[in-house]
Each structure stands twice: as structure tokens, then as C-alpha cells.
Structure 1
């Protein structure tokens, strides 16, 4: 995985971000989701590096990145605004003021916020298997609460969810969490699954809970404020989602995103569940190459 890539850490104003970068060409930032790391891009990173300068990071607190121990009184230290700021500073440190960006799951939410807060930085953006956070919180139903139980569990006050998540073996929890959409674990190579387990430490557990708490508080406030001001995504946006995942059952995905963007949205469902880059790597790669021109 990531053959020929350089591994490094970059200090931002609020965190230490672990990353790999390699390749040549236009800069393409790749952001992962929960409970994964930058390794989520292992099936396509090397192919993309033949066309782009690929930068794959661990979000603050996830993987081998380190964020603040204190999430802040309003969990602002783990907001998508804070995570987006990290990525701007990482790319600047690597010499890139403007770049392409693609994110899956929490990384896609970071990508959305990056587009809103730093429109001058984003050339084009792709979000994989999410709907806007504000839309999710305002369209809750029984099916969503059942399928996405971790959203409401992880926002409970610390250290309740942290203690429960850390109270079982990391391997057991990861198997349960990554297979919850009913599609099994076969698309995760052993070395990838083992890497996710290795990184599932107290640091990551606490950071991920703070991430979800922020999503339900400060992030929701910021999203509502953007809607009131009419602040929309200005960059061209690609939206991909799994045909067999939860997002597909939440409505017309492209139309929902079109309400948040100034330019026409492009994209489609892939033959996958939630983990689009790992379940449908060829489709993901083909869409990226067509879109990030």
C-alpha cells in the first residue's frame, strides 16, 4: 500500500496531522471517515498518484494524528471547521494554496465545511456516501436511528460512550462496526483491517466521540447559519454514494446536494455499501479521473 509515498507529520495551529503524500501533477487531498484512517484509500491511491500529487491524511485525533485532549466547551476543537483548517494548513505546508479534495464519511463532512469556509482554496470537491449534516439531523426517522445508532450514542456526555467503546476488544468492536451494513468484511484486506484496529486507541475513541458531539452542536449551528446567509458550495461538486448503503434510502441524493451548491452537481450511485472507496475502487477511480481534470 502507498508504495513510493512519503510518510510525515505536519504541525498545524491545532493538531499534529499524520499523512502520506506521493505522485505528481495537480494536488488531490484525500480525507477518510470513521472509524478508519487515511488507509481507506489504499485501493486507488497509487493509481491516482500516476496523475495527481496525492495527499492522504488522518483527521485530527484519528489514526496517528493527534488533536487536543480537551474538545472545548462546545466541542469546537473537533468541529469540521477545525478539521478543515488543519487540511488547509497541511496543504499550504506542502506548497499547495489551491487543490482538489475528496472525502468519505467524516472526511466528506470536513470537505463540505472546507468548501464553505475556504472557497478560494478548493478547485473541485467530491463527497462520498453522505448527505449534508444539517439535512441528516433534520430528517431523522426510525430507520435512520436504527441504522445510524452510533450518531446518537457517541454524542452522549463523556466519558460514557468512550468507556463502553474502550471496554471491549478493539478487534471485536471494529468487526461489528465495519460490518453493520450487512455486507461483511471481505473487501477489507487483513493488513487494512489490522491497521484500523491498531489505531483504535483511547485517543481515537475520545476524538471520534468529540467529532460526533461537535456535529450535533457547533457544526449544526454553523450549518444553520450558512443556510440563513445563503452560503453555498461554490466549487464544482461530485457526489458518489453506495447503492446498498443507508444514504441511498434517504431520498434524491443529487437533488438534496444541489440545494447546497451554486453549480450543477454531478455523480451517481456505485455498486457498494457505505465504504465506497474500498468496495467500489474502480468506479471511484474512474469518477475521480473524469471529474478532477
Structure 2
């Protein structure tokens, strides 16, 4: 049943893009200014099935599986491949291979961490940033508490050295992913059955689970180091930023998301939305109410195609 999930993206074209380190599985559709959509853990590009078709009515939309996730495979050196800087570089190479020089990036969860790293490292390429349920990695770690540890236990388990988490996850992958997605969505039945099967099938693959662990290992090491270096040097995101976060949730030790992101950019706006953590699936209509006018203002101008 895997990749029947592509039925969720009517009119999109399936592409296989080779870069020096990654063989990307990517869907594309539409025309006009370009938007890159990046999913999170433990999902695939199917996470955007309620957002991407709407955007494709007026934009060129690119929807890949993250490096190592879904059907995107690491073909080069695995060393450091989980770092958001490496992912950002590979995704930039993918976009260049598709002929896109400038584009907005929308990222949820782990994809949100790749997205803001792209905005920091490639300011000449990124036209706008949309971050969904994410604050920068240093502020996340600085806000760790008992409640965070109990709720986001996978941040600690999956960051352990190999092969411990990989072996634990292999014991019953379907139980683990259903438990995780059910909690994130506040009810697993809110996830489309085709998308859910896509996530499950991908998670069955030990290479995908290893890539996810490498992602979280980097989050506890290289990603934090890279972000702290930017924060200490007062390096800012230069493009307009739109945030969506889980309504009534505080981040980074009890801080409001807008306050946290104001330390990283002077062009930040956003709001909290109900629906749990998987907002692109559980609250797509609410997201689009703000996303569409933001993109129109941020990137629908001459010279930014």
C-alpha cells in the first residue's frame, strides 16, 4: 500500500532527484513563486496532503521526503547526515536540480528545524520562512523540565548512541508509531488512512528509523552547537517569519513562542492553533487562513520567483 498515499496529491508529479548525498523522493505541482514544504517526525511528505494541493493553485509546490525519511535515501557519507545544516545543504542542492533559485520554506516539527537553518545559512535563497510547532533547538533544551521529558521522551531515547534506540524501536515499530501519532494528533483517527499507512510502512524500514535517530542525535549535539554559535554572534533570520504553535502551550522554559522567535528575527508574526502537534493535518484550514495572505505579501512580488 506504500505510496498509494500519492493519491492524496492529485495532479502532482513524482520525481527522483539525485544529489551528492541524498536520493530524494519528491512531489511537485503548480506554477508561480516556489514553496518548499518540509515534514516532521515520524512522518513523510504525506503530512502536507491538506496544504500542498491548495498552495499549488497559485504556487509551484515542492514536497520531498526529508533525507533518510520516507523514500529519500542517504547514498553518500552518513557521517553527520542528521544535522540540520547537512539536511539544509542537501535540500538546497535538490531545489537547484529542480531549477529553483529562490523559494519560501514551510517546515513542521523536524522539518521546521531544517527550514530555519536554511533561512540562516542561505539568506540569498529563502524568501520567507513558516515554522510550525517549533522553537529553535537551544531554547528547547534550555526549557527542558519533567513535563517535557515525560511528554517528549523520544528526544532523549533516540539521541542515545547507536545501536540502542534502533534496537529498542525494532521491537514493535507499529506499536511505537501508532502511540506517537495518536498522542501528537490527539486521536489517531484524525489522520487520513492513506497518510497513516504511508507513515507506518516507512517506519517499518530500519534504515528510516536509523535516519530518524541520527536526526535526534544531531539535535542533541551539532544542531545545538550551530544554533548557539548563531545566537552568540547575534546572527538573525532576514526574511519574514510566520509561526504556528500549539494553542496554550508555552515553550523554552515557559516563554511565549513569539518572544523566543523575536530573538532570532525582527519580522515575526503568528498564532497558536488548537489541534495538537500535527497542525498541517489536524488544523489545515486554520493554518491556511494565515498562511495564504502571508505568502502573498511575502513572496508574490517581482524578482522573487
Fold match by TM threshold 0.5? yes
Q: 1:39 and 2:46 equivalent?
A: yes
Does 2:55 align with 1:48?
Answer: yes
Give the TM-score, by structure 2 length: 0.91
CA RMSD between the two structures:
1.6
Cα gap change, 1:158 to 1:207, in 2 (>3 Å): same
CA distance in 1, matches of 2:59, 2:185: 34
Distance of aligned partners of 1:44 and 1:248 in 2 relative to their CA distance in 1, 3 Å threshold: farther
Distance 1:12 1:140 in 2: 36
**2:95 aligned partner:** 91
Q: Identify if the C-alpha distance between structure 1 residues 240 and 279 changes in structure 2 by more than 3 Å, giving closer, same or farther.
A: same
Q: CA deviation at 1:159?
A: 0.6
Task: Look up the match of 1:214.
Answer: 218
Query: Does the 8 Å CA contact 1:246/1:274 hold for their aligned counterparts?
Result: no
Distance 1:246 1:10, change over 3 A: farther
2:187 paired with 1:191: no
Seen in structure 2, the aligned counterparts of structure 1 residues 78 and 182 have a Cα distance that, compared at 3 Å, is closer
Aligned residues: 288
User: What does residue 61 of structure 1 align with?
Assistant: 68
Pairing 1:160–2:168 present: no
- Indicate if the aligned counterparts of 1:22 and 1:55 stay in contact, CA closer than 8 A: yes
* Other structure's SS at 1:114 match: helix
* Stretches (4+) displaced over 6 A: none
1:29 aligns with 2:29: no
Work out the CA distance in 2 between the residues paired with 1:206 and 1:271: 31
Provide, for residues 116-173 of structure 1, a one-character-per-residue CA deviation record: whole Å limited to 9, x for no partner.
11011010110000111111112211111111100000011101100110111x3222
**SS in structure 2 opposite 1:36?**
coil
> Which consecutive unaligned segments of at least 5 residues does structure 2 have?
1-7, 297-305
